[in-house]
Structure 1
Amino acid sequence: MATITIFGTGNMGTAIKSVFEDAGATVQSLDSHSENPTIEGDIVVLAVPYPALASIAEQYGDQLEGKTVVDITNPLDFSTFDSLVVPADSSAAAELQAKLPKSHVLKAFNTVFAANIASKKTGNAQSTVLVAGDDDAAKAAFIDLVKAGGLDAIDAGALKRARELEAFGFLQLALAVQKKIGFNAGFAVYR
């Protein structure tokens, strides 16, 4: 079975870890106190704030070569909640792929709140993870693992679709911050 490394032990990292453990994967959890760890996973999930992506890519770039690297960030201006902080024709995931050209970067988990990942439900529907990436084999393997862990997952297309996923995640976060929805709410996909 797969070995997953998750950078981040907050709400999202913990919820995602439970999904992969339910799928039977071995999970290595790393936090800011982990000093120069060896990355064990073939799939590496970056459950960290957007500003941390650049330093992780710089510090662990060699270890991430050939691995599937999953960006879950929503690169928004948290001081105002009124805009994304990446160029209009780009995304956090695209920036990460440029920094890690020998890795298979995927965008996923950024449109589902931690509570909905942990419960595997959004309202009465199964929580759905939208996944964008350019490597079809890496994306398919990741989607299979997410589904084995009890969530639904949909291939959202090429990595350039990460821009729309980040805008969607931004909208959901903005609604929650404005208390129009809760952090246990969200958008469901019925198929």
Structure 2
Amino acid sequence: MANVTIFGKGNMGQAIGKNFEDAGNTVAYIGSETVKDEVTVGEIVVLAVPYPAVSSILADYEEELKGKIIVDITNPVDFDTFDDLVVPADSSAAAVIAKAASDSKVVKGFNTTFAATLATKKVAGEHQTTVLLASDDQEAKEVVTNALNGSDLAVLDAGSLKRARELEALGFLQISLAAAEKISWTGGFGVFH
């Protein structure tokens, strides 16, 4: 069992938290109204906030995040145009976070799933939802995977943190398709193996 802290109380944060709870972990949420001095940060920290909010969280909680596993679920989409990502083409939001929080272990995950597919544990009501994880820290990926064991989600190791670039591109494509109403927010991409 792990203590999981989730920054963000929206649909994604709640759906992710429920999966960790279903697997027997303890989950606490931090929202914009949370008083920092009243917070104990768990060993797994999930950033379930829009990408522009991440830098202030990393700055405000710098000491509390040292040595922790940070799960970055963000898709750094330019929400003004829905036509591009706001990170360099040869980088990723996760790489930017890993550089800023160098004393933490960054894992990219959950960004290729919608909240509805995490809540139902099914893509399009038919196929098991798969969470793809990328990190340069193998042990951190294993800790997150083990913490989700029993959640009824499939978890797949997608490789090093360098793969976050492809995961974010895939997340961006999925969001673009849903925003254009070409797929539903209960749909998305599935992994069959």
Q: Normalized against structure 2, the TM-score is what?
A: 0.97
CA deviations on 1:68-88 (whole Å, 9 max, x unpaired) are: 000000001101110000001
SS at match of 2:51: coil
Distance 1:32 1:40 in 2: 15
Tell me what 2:106 maps to: 105
Q: Which amino acid aligns with 2:19?
A: V
Shift of 1:144: 1.9
Tell me what 2:28 maps to: 28
Where in structure 2 are the equivalents of 1:20-169 lying within 5 Å? 20-36=20-36, 37-123=38-124, 124-169=126-171
SS at match of 2:184: coil
- Structure 1 unpaired stretches of 5+: none
Distance 2:67 2:73 in 1: 19
Q: Which amino acid aligns with 1:114?
A: A
CA-based RMSD = 0.8
Quick check: 2:2–2:43 contact (8 Å CA) kept in 1?
Answer: yes
Shift of 1:116: 0.1
Q: How many residues align?
A: 191
SS at match of 2:163: helix
SS at match of 2:90: coil
Distance 2:148 2:134 in 1: 14
Q: Which amino acid aligns with 2:60?
A: Q
Range with bigger deviation, 147-156 or 66-75: 147-156
Tell me what 1:16 maps to: 16
Shift of 1:61: 1.2
Shift of 1:143: 1.3
Quick check: 2:41–2:64 contact (8 Å CA) kept in 1?
Answer: no
- After TM superposition, which residue ranges in structure 1, 4 or more long, deviate above 3 angstroms? none
Distance 1:146 1:180 in 2: 30
Tell me what 1:184 maps to: 186
CA deviations on 1:24-48 (whole Å, 9 max, x unpaired) are: 1010111110021423310000000
- Structure 2 unpaired stretches of 5+: none
SS at match of 1:53: helix
